[in-house]
């Protein structure tokens, strides 16, 4: 009996020690403090193990970029810091500069990228949150208001849950998505998706200066024509007041996670992953009322409300311009996904 108790006791001590150590490690590993740095090969992992931050080389590229990806899906990059300034010398360092900014240095210690915000802190720390947001903040204060800089304010091609797309009207900050140039080059590509505030607000996808798609106009309550709709996995919010005008979605929780991406061909896609699954699927939502629009699918097109792309050609016809037809598909899609 005595022995049993002893064993139980050491068992408890042992495991308390282990969990203490694990706790210490995971706390340490989502944060960089001044005078700490990490280099390629090392990563930060968010506390809930959802996201990871580190240097990567996309596709066939040898350039190094600092990015955030899903811990379980390192190939899915949701954010890139130095999109336009790759490190070309295979040695990257992430650190906090003496003046409190988050900086990326190359092998010869030149500043390749900087968080460069107008505000600074006494003692700033950078933390990768479990939402996928990389924040720079005063170490003693973790309130949202105290963020000096956050990656969510500078989206790449992906909108995660709780990320705002749109405007801070007070500061003029506009958050929008930009496609990658190619699978090996995360620099800004052709497609930009954001909220236009010239006139009445509306979602607009642009290719260069050309408008490729827009929703109906915001009438103060909702977008006419295209609804900002709930999906089984996400609930949209649209905020419009004197300070802010943005779209955001909340994850419905449960066992599915979701992300919204503008891909290199200008397709706006919502992906969904079920818990335990290793494959992301493109979510599709049945449209309502799109087929009612006269000539919606063009001459010799048939509109089928239950189809993924709802437009089909009549038998014997092919799309006049395949590219435009492809665009058409996603324009249907996006309306269902918001």
Give me the residues that bind ligand NAG (CB under 6 A), please. 34-35, 88-89, 106-108, 110-111, 114, 116, 123, 141, 143, 145-146, 263-265, 267, 282
Is residue 217 helix, strand or coil? coil
Q: Are 177 and 79 in contact (CB under 8 A)?
A: no
By the 8 A CB rule, do 159 and 260 touch?
Answer: yes
Q: How many CB atoms lie within 10 A of CB 246?
A: 20
Confirm if 99 and 85 have CB atoms less than 8 A apart: no
Least CB distance to ligand NAG at residue 221 (A):
32
Strands 134-138 and 234-240: unpaired
Distance set, CA 215 to CA 73, 108, 190 (Å)? 32, 48, 19
Min dist CB 183 to ligand NAG, Å, is: 7
Least distance from ligand NAG to the Cβ atom of residue 238, Å:
25
**Please, which residue, 5 or 35, has the CB nearer to ligand NAG?**
35
Closest to 105 (Cα-Cα) out of 153, 150, 158, 55 = 55
**Closer of 106 and 290 to ligand NAG (Cβ):** 106
Residue with Cβ nearer ligand NAG (119 or 250): 119
Which CB sits closer to ligand NAG, 50 or 61? 61
* Closer residue to ligand NAG in complex, CB, 107/236: 107
Task: State the minimum distance, in angstroms, from the CB of residue 89 to ligand NAG.
Answer: 3
In contact, 260 and 158? CB cutoff 8 Å: yes
Closest approach of Cβ 142 to ligand NAG, in Å? 8
The residue (of 5 and 143) whose beta carbon lies closer to ligand NAG is: 143
**3-state SS of the chain: helix, strand, coil percent to 5?**
15, 40, 45
Residue carrying structure tokens 């996904």? 337
The nearest distance, CB 82 to ligand NAG, in angstroms, is: 10
Report, in Å, the least distance between residue 137 CB and ligand NAG: 9
- Residue nearer to ligand NAG on the CB measure, 6 or 282: 282
Nearer Cβ to ligand NAG, position 226 or 267? 267
Helices (H), the chain: 2-28, 322-337
Query: Shortest gap between Cβ of 90 and ligand NAG (angstroms)?
Result: 9
In whole angstroms, give the CA distance from residue 103 to residue 81: 10
Which CB atom, from 115 or from 240, has the smaller least distance to ligand NAG? Answer: 115
Antiparallel, parallel or unpaired: β 210-214 and 185-196: unpaired
Helix (H, G, I), strand (E, B) or coil at 114: strand
24 close to 44: Cβ distance less than 8 angstroms? no
Find the shortest distance in angstroms from Cβ 99 to ligand NAG. Answer: 11
Q: What is the DSSP string of 11-43?
A: HHHHHHHHHHHHHHHHHHTTEE-TT-EEETT-E
């Amino acid at each position: 009996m005595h022995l049993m108790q002893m064993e139980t006791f050491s068992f408890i001590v042992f495991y308390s020690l282990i969990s203490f150590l694990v706790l210490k490690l995971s706390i340490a590993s989502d944060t960089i403090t001044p005078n700490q740095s990490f280099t390629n090969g090392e990563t930060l992992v968010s506390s809930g193990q959802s996201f990871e931050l580190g240097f990567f080389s996309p596709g066939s590229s040898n350039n190094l970029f600092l990015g955030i990806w899903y811990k379980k899906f390192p190939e899915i990059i949701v954010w890139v810091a130095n999109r336009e300034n790759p490190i070309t010398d295979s040695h990257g360092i992430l650190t906090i500069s003496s003046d409190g900014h988050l900086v990326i240095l190359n092998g010869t210690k030149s500043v390749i990228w900087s968080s460069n915000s107008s505000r600074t802190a006494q003692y700033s720390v950078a933390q990768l949150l479990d939402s996928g947001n990389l924040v720079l903040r005063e170490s003693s204060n973790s309130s949202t208001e105290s963020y000096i800089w956050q990656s969510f304010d500078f989206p790449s091609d992906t909108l995660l849950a709780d990320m705002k797309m749109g405007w801070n009207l007070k500061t003029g900050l506009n958050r929008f998505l930009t496609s990658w140039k190619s699978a090996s080059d995360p620099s800004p590509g052709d497609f930009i998706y954001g909220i236009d505030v010239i006139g009445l607000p509306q979602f607009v996808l642009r290719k260069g200066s050309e408008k490729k798609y827009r929703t109906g106009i915001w009438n103060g309550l909702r977008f006419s024509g295209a609804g900002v709709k709930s999906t089984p996995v996400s609930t949209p919010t649209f905020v419009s007041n004197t300070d802010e005008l943005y779209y955001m979605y909340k994850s419905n929780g449960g066992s599915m996670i979701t992300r919204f991406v503008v891909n290199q061909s200008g397709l706006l896609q919502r992906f969904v992953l079920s818990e335990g699954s290793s494959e992301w699927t493109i979510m599709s939502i049945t449209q309502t009322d799109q087929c009612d629009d006269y000539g919606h699918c063009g001459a010799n097109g048939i509109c089928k409300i239950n189809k993924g792309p709802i437009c089909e050609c009549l038998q014997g016809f092919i799309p006049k311009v395949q590219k435009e037809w492809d665009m058409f598909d996603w324009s249907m899609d996006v309306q269902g996904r918001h």
